[in-house]
Structure 1
């Protein structure tokens, strides 16, 4: 008898959930925004890495603290380097331009960063003169489209110029 009550109660709960106004019918969902990939020729990508003067933050991503410095990702563009020795007055030091960058990691005086599908290693023992030490081509997955985490078929590598690398996505 208890088993019957459990089945009836469970069935009743399931039926009430289907009528629940809080659930969203997939047909009623707002469509995801459309994007197009930002492409760069591989030769241009490899020549674009540079240490530049500081610039304004506008589309930031991940933050990495390595006392006394803060490294802040600028989505798809590179890394801001900020001296935080005096937290009340942080001082921008430089901008490390890395097209297609969304992530960084550090160990000692080495900074690892993605650049499209490449993995770069920098010597940052002197942050104002960061030096690219090594590039491993195609070491990480290509940058996927935001929100879906995929690369649509029309933008797969076989459907674009042979030397083009995805360095970001632009909302249409």
Structure 2
């Protein structure tokens, strides 16, 4: 009986030691790793700007004679389609980090990274942000604080640079963090 308890404890200790492996030594110079993507005040601003070419088309919604075309990660193109043979691009609603949107009763609901915005577009010349719910689209408290994959070096987060909204795999120099 004592031998089986001892053997069980020994197995538990051996198995748990596999999960507590220290990180490798930190290399000098350039390595492949993750760098944080920060949301700055400029990125966080919502603005109706001049028209621009579509780069990465996403979802499309129609509201009356207006077509709303999401340019993934950048914002929403507003196109006047009153004359379908001659559509007129009316402007670009800058919403950095946008991926999904829906329109209901003249309100565009769009994500901005992990936040959800409600924007009144009933009058396209006077677009108004109704609400901004910060970080409601996160699945956990620490979603963006660490890179998505293990086994990589990464740049340590720096709160003074803004809120981390994602990670980019790239070449980093002299990393000090590992996951």
The alignment's TM-score, normalised by the length of structure 2, stands at 0.61
Total equivalences in the alignment: 131
- State the alpha-carbon separation in 1 of the partners of residues 60 and 90 from structure 2: 15
Give unpaired runs (5+ residues) of structure 2: 1-31, 172-179
Matched, 1:111 2:108: yes
Alignment of 1:70-149 (within 5 A): 70-141=67-138
Q: 1:165: which partner in 2?
A: 164
Report how far residue 107 of structure 1 moved: 1.1
CA distance, structure 2, for counterparts of residue 75 and residue 117 of structure 1 = 14
Does structure 1 conserve the Cα–Cα contact (< 8 Å) formed by 2:37 and 2:166?
A: yes
Structure 1: segments with no counterpart, 5+ residues: 1-33, 145-149
State the match for 2:56 in structure 1: 59
Residue of structure 2 in register with 1:68 after alignment: 65
Does structure 2 retain, via aligned residues, the 8 Å contact 1:50–1:97?
yes
Larger strand share, 1 or 2: 2
- Residue equivalent to 1:40: 38
CA contact (8 A) 1:93 1:128 kept: no
User: What is the rounded CA distance, in whole Å, between the counterparts of 2:49 and 2:67 in structure 1?
Assistant: 16
1:168 Cα shift? Answer: 8.3
Distance, in Å, in 2 between the alignment partners of 1:58 and 1:94 is 15
Question: How well do the aligned residues superpose, as a CA RMSD in angstroms?
Answer: 3.3
In structure 2, how many angstroms separate the alpha carbons of the residues matched to 1:61 and 1:167? Answer: 20
Q: How far does residue 161 in structure 1 lie from its aligned partner after superposition?
A: 3.0
1:134–1:155 CA distance, 2 compared to 1 (3 A) = farther
Distance 1:165 1:98, change over 3 A: farther
The structure carrying a bigger helix percent of its residues is: 1
Task: Give the Cα–Cα distance (whole angstroms) in 2 for the partners of residues 155 and 67 of structure 1.
Answer: 50
